[in-house]
Chain A
Amino acid sequence: MKPIFALQNLRKSHGERLLLNIDKLELQRGNTYLLLGENGVGKTTLLRIMAGLEAADGGQFQFDGQFVNSDTERAALAPNLIYVHQHSYLFYTNVAENIGYGLKLRGIPKTEREALVAAELVWAGITHLRDVPPNQLSGGEKQRVAMARARVLKPELLLLDEPTANLDDAAREQVVELIAHMRDANNCVIIATHDKELAEIPDAVKLKLEEGRVQG
């Protein structure tokens, strides 16, 4: 089966240090991948390179069979490929407008947009927060908004960077529950984490990043 995302010979150095040295990595649709590894091993850098937010020193990349070797080409895959930051950034409006941001960019009419946003609010369990500005949300609530904001755009590849970092137990449980329901047959979710609870997501494929290399 053709992978949704494939990379070969990825090299990335930070100064003298060779951070990433990955010969081959293929991600298939319908899978959730857990990218595990110690802090500072390069998990975030790998996801950011995949999303085109950082340039690699070298490597070949394919998205759904098409070469996307430059970071500009990969960034242009958005919102088919969405990267969610470790500490999600929410725009200074309200929850509903944050979730509807990408839909508005796509030119989706207001009525349709509102219906889609309403459905995502229900999915994320945050209907009561619809009109709340981001400064009044907890860390867990912000993360749920970010998940809903990404999910509503139906990305084929979703990159989640430490989605449960710095969350309390209750918030972590809720976010893990959402993540477990983000995958479907047509998409692929890759999660950089060292959270043991995330490691319990059913059927998740574990990838370990160690000394710059990915071990499946």
Chain B
Amino acid sequence: MTLSEATHQAFVLLLGGDPKLWGIIWVSIRVSTLALISAVPLAVLSGFVLATFTFPGRRALVVILQTLLALPTVIVGLVLYMVLSRQGPLGEWHWLFTQEAMILGQAVLAFPILAAMTLSAVQGVDKRAAETAKTLGASRLQAMWTVLLEARFAVLVAIATGFGRVLSEIGCAMMVGGNIAGVTRNITTAIALETSKGEFAQGIALGAVLVVLALAVNFAMNFFQGKGLTR
């Protein structure tokens, strides 16, 4: 099959509403969205705490967080595989090769991005914001909430970046998800599989969807960045 034939076939599959193809897309969106929802509260809180408070070990935590940004996805997959496998500490959960395991893995991957970008976003808020809140009668907690609200556009950029990262990762999803058709097969693992089989049409179709999703995420990021920068 030539490249143009494969591309034509890809659009036929996409536009024809091929259930198998759209099922794979749905797995990707569902898993990545739930992973992000799971990671956001703790990650944003961690980033905020690191940006706001000084305490022993803070600097070490920041360095660890920054190191985790470059963590290879297969390493996360490997560690989670061992933790979730039958002999592992969480083996009783029977999560290995399920969407829950993929969600957990992607949440772990998203965490450092969300926390590090929130840290940077909160540090970037003008010091006068907290002072103004306090002088207008805000309690310490209310002033901190105000500062977080002031950083909201940058935090949204962090969330969009995190979504982009987990949506496009393959290593962790492959290792803890197992690429089971109709269950844990997502866009990236399906592209790898179909390409290895020489089935380029489905790979191109899924690749096109991934590019469209990446574009949407980047448009969202751009929008939020614009909002934040024009104050």
Contact = CB atoms under 8 A, between A and B. Distances in A.
B133 to A, nearest CB: 8
A102 interface: yes
Nearest to A101: B136
B126 A105 contact: no
- Number of contact residues on B: which range applies? 10 to 19
Given A89-B131, A92-B150, 19 more contacts: A51-B135, A53-B131, A53-B135, A75-B134, A81-B135, A82-B135, A82-B136, A83-B131, A87-B128, A91-B132, A92-B149, A92-B231, A101-B133, A101-B136, A106-B137, A135-B230, A135-B231, A153-B136, A153-B137
Contact of A105 (B142, B150, B153, B231): B142
A105 B138 contact: yes
A85 B126 CA distance: 12
A105 B128 contact: no
Contacts of A139: none
A133 B132 contact: no
A3 interface: no
Interface in A160-182: none
Contacts of A25: none
Top 10 A-B pairs, shortest CB-CB distance: A89-B128, A79-B137, A102-B136, A135-B231, A89-B132, A83-B135, A78-B135, A105-B137, A78-B137, A102-B137
B134 A78 contact: yes
Contacts of A85: 128, 131-132
B181 interface: no
Contacts of B134: 53, 75, 78
Interface in B140-183: 142, 146, 149-150, 153
B137 A91 contact: no
A153 B132 CA distance: 13
A42 interface: no
B136 A149 contact: yes
Interface in A49-83: 51, 53, 75, 78-79, 81-83
Nearest to B230: A135
20 contacts: A53-B135, A75-B134, A78-B135, A79-B135, A84-B135, A85-B128, A85-B132, A89-B126, A89-B129, A89-B131, A91-B149, A91-B150, A92-B149, A92-B231, A102-B136, A102-B137, A105-B137, A105-B142, A133-B231, A153-B136
Interface size class of A (residues with CB under 8 A): 20 to 34
Interface string A129-140: 000011100000
Interface of A: 51, 53, 75, 78-79, 81-85, 87-89, 91-92, 101-102, 105-106, 133-135, 149-150, 153
A85 B134 CA distance: 12
Nearest to A93: B149
B226 to A, nearest CB: 11
A158 to B, nearest CB: 10
A134 B231 CA distance: 7
Contacts of B150: 91-92
Contacts of B149: 91-92
Interface string B97-139: 0000000000000000000000000000010110111111110
Nearest to B229: A135
A149 B132 CA distance: 10
A40 B149 CA distance: 33
Contacts of B230: 135
Nearest to B146: A91
A102 B133 CA distance: 8
A52 to B, nearest CB: 8
A81 B136 CA distance: 8
Contacts of B133: 101
Contacts of A84: 135
